[in-house]
Amino acid sequence: MSFRIEKLRALKESNRDPYLITTAKQTHHAADIAAGFEELEGETATVAGRLLARRGMGKVSFSDLLDRSGSIQIFSRLNNLGEESYAAWQNLDIGDLVEVTGEVFRTKTGEVSIRNREWRLLSKSLRPLPEKYHGLRDTDTRYRKRYLDLIVNPEVRETFVKRSRIISFFREELNRRQYLEVETPLLNTIAGGAAARPFVTHHNALDIDLYLRIAPELYLKRLIVGGFERVYEIGRNFRNEGMSNRHNPEFTMLELYEAYADYHTMMDLTEALVAGACMEINGTYEIDYQGTALSLAPPWRRMTMIEAVRAYAGLDFDQIKTDEEAREAARGRGLEEVPASMTWGEALSKCFEAFAEEHLIQPTFLIDYPIEISPLTKIKPGTGGRLTERFEVFIYGREHGNAYTELNDPMDQARRFADQQRRREAGDEEATLPDNDFVEALEVGMPPTGGLGIGIDRVVMLLTNQPTIRDVLLFPTMKPVDKD
């Protein structure tokens, strides 16, 4: 590093301070030149980017220049540049940012290259980059210094380009379907719409605590009451819970609501969005995720929670009638921690999580959830009020989305909130908080509505074959390092 600072000092003293340069020219990008070589051969092109490698041979040298599209070889020759310019070129460091102009040609060995006729140093790199061959492996450094990871590991760049394309695809598809993109508050006075512990912050002027939202649900449904009919929001949710390879404290959700629709509509839409995004970036519905072959070709399997528990836990909740029978069955099957207060629906849900969830490898809509864990969902007719019209999408044993036929009965909603409040008082910190203004909105009248939430980070993991959520977040949450 000291050599580089010395070089910078020399540049400044000779009036060639690279940091004074404000713009540069890019007539082409590396990938375009490679792709359009037939038409571009012999043409003059100007590229700009970072010097990544140099293979010097005395009076001739080869360098790789990286721009946003990829890298291209620069061929520099003493005869073409002259003594002074060539010597200065040889004096550059790996990592420096340069602009190069010259003809497009192919070298002896067939590498598409630019013959360096004229160049400028655009910015100096004072720190050495990680090794070119092995790249940067250390996960700690990769996440904390993502810029290095992006420079040195091309597959990381690709993943984040794909992430952007997936989100664009969702937007385009929803806009095409006449959905309106909206923004709702991140700072909430009541953290509602999901079962999770919130982050707390404080507003000084109002002198009140505010919560970072755990879900936009209750605001988006107010907009359905307001008459927008189709709304969506892509944004961050914050949940003050554990971290894992599938969990980051802030994560990105696509949440959408469609009036005059139900959860069947939402299943079709889920398939269209996720399978569509897969086709968009992978060109196929057949993917490999961490060694497992998955087919995202619609239609996906649809199975009720009761069916799943019957199939994978061997317990038939259609035949189990009372809470007591359900607890006995769950205990008999080996479920740990079955409190005496556990209800039929809780037992069903716990049995699903414990015995069935991990088996849902191929895309599956798991439908009809117990009412106790679905306080914002409409009851499914003919189930004695025990089940609701809710589904979650499972792929590779992981939840990727959650949808309901939305509860629009204000009286029922008030009762559900009251029930959640009792659970909270009984010690369930994650029970949904009551929101009386939301109930008032329902009293104004909400049309029958279908709603859907898709965990974008997990979809990106799936479609880009990344094993951990940190690999699809540019800056995952990290503990600070004490530098002293």
Q: Which is nearer to RNA, 150 or 180 (CB)?
A: 150
CB of 199 to RNA, least distance (A): 11
CB of 229 to RNA, least distance (A): 25
Q: Which is nearer to RNA, 217 or 225 (CB)?
A: 217
Q: Which is nearer to RNA, 206 or 481 (CB)?
A: 481
Q: Are 270 and 322 in contact (CB under 8 A)?
A: no
Measured distance CA(250)–CA(236) in Å, rounded = 6
First to last CA, the chain: 22
Q: Which is nearer to RNA, 174 or 459 (CB)?
A: 459
Q: Which is nearer to RNA, 4 or 177 (CB)?
A: 4
CB of 5 to RNA, least distance (A): 11
Measured distance CA(269)–CA(405) in Å, rounded = 13
CB burial string 4-29: b at 16+ within 10 A, e below: beebbeebeeeeeebeeeeeeeeebb
Q: Tell me the two tokens of residue 93.
A: 């460091």
Residue found by looking up tokens 């003059």 in the block: 44
Which of 360, 380, 359 shows the shortest CA–CA distance to 369?
A: 380
CB of 239 to RNA, least distance (A): 5
CB of 205 to RNA, least distance (A): 30
Residue found by looking up tokens 């859907």 in the block: 452
CB of 46 to RNA, least distance (A): 20
CB of 153 to RNA, least distance (A): 10
Residue found by looking up tokens 């070119």 in the block: 132
Q: Which is nearer to RNA, 107 or 284 (CB)?
A: 107
Q: Which is nearer to RNA, 97 or 225 (CB)?
A: 97
* Phi and psi torsions of 51, nearest 5°: -75, 120
CB of 260 to RNA, least distance (A): 26
Residue found by looking up tokens 């019209």 in the block: 389
CB of 307 to RNA, least distance (A): 20
Measured distance CA(483)–CA(480) in Å, rounded = 9
Q: Which is nearer to RNA, 130 or 235 (CB)?
A: 130
Q: Which is nearer to RNA, 120 or 197 (CB)?
A: 197
Q: Which is nearer to RNA, 78 or 167 (CB)?
A: 78
**Which residues, 6 or more positions from 223, have their beta carbon under 8 angstroms from its beta carbon?**
182, 184, 231, 257
Cis before 299 (ω within 30)? yes
* CB neighbourhood size of 235 (10 A): 17
E strand or H helix at 402, and its extent?
strand 398-405
Measured distance CA(389)–CA(321) in Å, rounded = 20
Angstrom CA distances, 123 to 1, 97, 167, stand at 15, 5, 33
Q: Are 251 and 474 in contact (CB under 8 A)?
A: no
CB of 208 to RNA, least distance (A): 25
